[in-house]
Amino acid sequence: MITRFVYGTKPNVPDYMIKGGNTYRIISDHLGSPRLIVNTTDGSIAQRIDYDVWGNITNDTNPGPRSGYPRFHQQAYAESRQLRPKR
């Protein structure tokens, strides 16, 4: 399945995600971390993600592989070294 990300208001964070024929609004925090994924058709929340102060996920209403969201090389490097991002 191909996922398309649409950027608009922020250069480093997508505003929308189109996946499987559905369009989702990505609501992120001031750091660019996704907080809510909202189905634009009916307004339902497809996913809510909460983080602790170190950036670890503390609550995820739809856990699964993160392959659908954009990943940055720094994140993959940090995870492979078990480093915590500064937040």
More confident site: 65 or 13: 13
The pTM of the whole model exceeds 0.85? no
Instruction: Quick: pLDDT tens for 48-87.
Output: 999 988 888 899 998 876 544 554 545 555 555 555 555 5
Contact 68, 3 (CB under 8 A): yes
Q: Name the residue among 30, 84, 43, 60 with its Cα closest to residue 69.
A: 60
